[in-house]
A and B are shown apart, each in its own frame.
Chain A
Amino acid sequence: MADLEIINLHASIGDKEILKGVNLEVNKGEVHALMGPNGSGKSTLSSVIMGHPDYEVTEGDIRYMGESVLEMDPEERAVAGMFLCFQYPVAIPGVSISSFLKKAMDARHPEGKAPAAPFLKEMRENMAYLEMDPAFANRGLNEGFSGGEKKRMEILQMMMYKPGMAIMDETDSGLDIDALRIVSKGVNKLKGPDLGLLIITHYERILTYIHPDHLHILMDGRVVMSGGPELVKQLEDKGYDWVRDQAAATV
C-alpha cells in the first residue's frame, strides 16, 4: 500500500469527463514526475487531489496514508499533510504574507495556535534561504508579485508546512533560469524520506534540477506509460507521438 494511492480515478468538470481512470502510487521518499501534452488532464489531477470544489469525482478513489480523502475538505487534506504547489497562485491583496502564514501554521498546530516567536524565526530563515526580501512578509499575498516571486512563495509555504506529500503543478512554467534554480534549491532541501513528491510538468527542464525516480506520462485522462529516469531522455528525443503509438500498441 503506497502512501498516496490514486485508484481508477475518474473526474469531471460540469459534463466533461477529464480524468478517465488514473492509476498512480507515490511513496514518501520518492520523487515522481508526471508529464503529458496540453489538455491531458495534468492540472485537473492536481486540483482533484487537493479537493477543488469545481471538480466532481465520479469513480475511483484517492487515498493518503491508507485513508480515502474524497470526503475531506481541502483544509482537512492540507492539515493531514498534503500540499499543492499551485501553477497560478492567486493574489490576495489585504492579507499579508506573515498573517496568512501564521493562520496556516495555527491550523496545523495541535493547540490551534503556533507560538509567534519560533514561527517568525522560521519564516525569516526560510525566506533568506529562498533569497526573498524580508520586507515581503508585510506585503499582500502575491500582490504585484512576478511569476518567480509567486513560485518562491509557494516553496516557502512548503518549507513551513513540511507536508508528507507535495504535488507541484507546473511549478517550472514561466520561470527564468534564476528563479528555477532557487525553486529547485528549496525543493531539493526538502527532499528526503518524509516527503513524497509528484512533479507535474510540461517541460523536461525542471527534471535536470530535481531528479525523479519515476516518470509517468498522462494522455487523455489516463497514465499511459511509466518508467525510470531514462524515459525522460526517450521522451525528449521521440516526443509524445511516440508515446501515443506505444500506448496504442499495448491496448
Chain B
Amino acid sequence: MPTLLLDPATEPAILAGFDEAVLETARQGENALLQAKRTAAFEACSLIPNPEFFHEEYRRMDPALFRFGNFKRLDTLPESAQELREGDDAYDAVISVNEKGYAILKKPDIEGFQLCSLAEAAAADPDSLEQLLGTAVVPDQQRKFFELNSAFWNVGFFIQAAKGVTLEKGILIRYELEEAGSALLPRLVLQAESMASFSIDERYTSPDGVETLCLSTHELHLEAAADVRLVSLQDWGSDGIHLGEDWSRVKRDGKVSLFNMTLGGKTSKCTTGCDVCEENANAYLGGVFFADGKQHFDQKTLQFHSAPNTYSNMLYKGAVKDHGYSVYQGIIQALKNCVGVDAYQTNNNMVLDSTARADSLPGLIIDADELACSHGATMGNLDEEQLYYLRSRGIPEGEARRMLLLGFFDEVIDRIPFEALQDRLHAVIAEKFES
C-alpha cells in the first residue's frame, strides 16, 4: 500500500504534540549550539515518515499504541531541590528526575570526571559537545524517535570520564513520573575516554493507573579500552508507555555492556544499536523482558561491525504470560572487509500461557568473508524434566517453577554490576510470575 505513505517532500511528518510551536518553546533561552541541534533534528524528523502499522517494523507494534495525542511535552525541566534517599550511598553519583525538575544529588570529587546537564556542557565547551551529539548513531537507520528526542528532549545529562578515570560504585539515575499526560524526553550523552570505566543504573518508575510517556535516548562514545556498563530498568506502573533509542560507538579494545530490562509499563518499544568500529572493540547486549496481563513489548537490536576483528554478543531473554505479547527483532551486520568478526545473537523465550505470544526475528547481513556469526531463537515453556527433578528433591512445585524462571533470566541478570538492581529484578519477575 505505498500510496498511503506520506510524501515527506510535501507533508512533513509531525507527531501530535511535537510541532514547531513546541519546538520554539524548547529552544527558548538555550545556547546557540543546542538551538541549532534542535532545529536540525526537527527538520530531519519531519523528513522521516511517521511510523505506520503497515510498515514492516511496526507490523507487530501498532504505533497508535503510543497514544501521542494523550500527552503533553513537559517544559524543559529546571533544576529542583530534592533529597538523597536510603540506598543512595551505594552509588558514587545520583541523579533524580521528576515532573518538577532534576537534581544532581551527589557526584564524586574525582579529577577528570564530569557530570552535568546538557545545557551546562554546551555552555562550557560547545565544540567538544558538538562532536558527540548524534554521532554515535549507526548510519542508514530509521531513527524517527531519535530525531524526535533530539529536537524535543526536556531533560539532558552529560557524563564524561577522562583517561583512566574509574568509578567503583557507579551512577544512579532515577526517572519518576507521577502525573497523567506527562511526556518526558530524557537524553543522556556520555563519553568515556581511554581506559575509563564506570557503570550506570537507570530506573524508570510511575504509579499504577497513571498514563505517562517516556521517549529516551542514550548516546555512548567509548574511546580506546574504555569499559562502560549501562543498565536501564523500565519499572513503570501499569500505564507507562516507553520508547527508547540507544546508540553506542566503541573504539579499539573498548567494551560496552547495554542491559535493557523491560518489565513494567503497558507498551514499550526500544532500539539498541552498537557500532564496534575499531579492532578488538566489544559489545554485550543483554535483555530481560516479561510481558504479562496485556503488556506489549517490542525490542530491536543492531550489532553493527564496521571494522575487522570486532566482537559482539547479544542475549535477550523473555517471558510472556496471560495476554502478554513480546517481539524481538535484531540484526548482526558486518561491512565489507570486516574479517575476523565474532558475533552472537540469541533470543530465548518462555511462553508460559497459550494465550500469550512471543515473536522472534533474528537476522544477519554479512558482506565480509572469514568471520563467525551465529544467531538463534528458542520458544518454550518451563522444562517438565527440570521441574520433576527439582520436585524429586523436595522442592514444592510453585517454588520449583519460580526457581526455573529466575534461573532462565539469571544468565543475563548475573552480569549486571548492581546488586540492588539484581534484587529488584528478581522481586519483580517473581511477582509477575505469581500474579
A interface list, Cβ under 8 A from B: 50-53, 73-75, 77-79, 84, 86, 89-90, 92-95, 99-100, 103-104, 107-108, 140, 157, 161
Contacts and interface: CB of A to CB of B under 8 A. Distances in A.
A251 B384 CA distance: 40
B300 interface: no
Interface SS of chain B? helix
- A-B interface, 6 closest residue pairs, ranked by CB to CB distance from nearest: A94-B407, A78-B394, A107-B394, A95-B407, A94-B410, A74-B391
Interface size class of B (residues with CB under 8 A): 20 to 34
Contacts of B411: 93-94
A53 B389 CA distance: 11
B370 interface: no
Contacts of B389: 86, 89-90, 92
Nearest to B412: A94
B103 to A, nearest CB: 38
B408 interface: yes
A89 B407 CA distance: 17
B120 interface: no
Contact of B392 (A78, A100, A108, A140): A78
B152 interface: no
B19 interface: no
B408 to A, nearest CB: 6
Interface of B: 383-386, 388-397, 399-400, 403-404, 406-411, 414
A3 to B, nearest CB: 19
Contacts, number: 72
Contact of B397 (A73, A90, A108, A157): A73
Nearest to B392: A74
Interface centre among A50, A95, A99, by most chain B C-beta atoms within 10 angstroms, is: A95
B391 A92 contact: no
A50 B395 CA distance: 13
A14 to B, nearest CB: 15
Nearest to B317: A94
B409 A94 contact: yes
A90 B389 CA distance: 7
A103 B395 contact: yes
Contacts of A92: 386, 389-390, 404, 407
B393 A104 contact: yes
A75 B403 CA distance: 15
B63 to A, nearest CB: 35
A99 B391 CA distance: 15
A64 B396 CA distance: 20
A160 to B, nearest CB: 10
Given A53-B388, A74-B388, A92-B386, A161 B393 contact: yes
A57 B403 CA distance: 29
A53 B409 CA distance: 26
A133 B388 CA distance: 27
A87 to B, nearest CB: 12
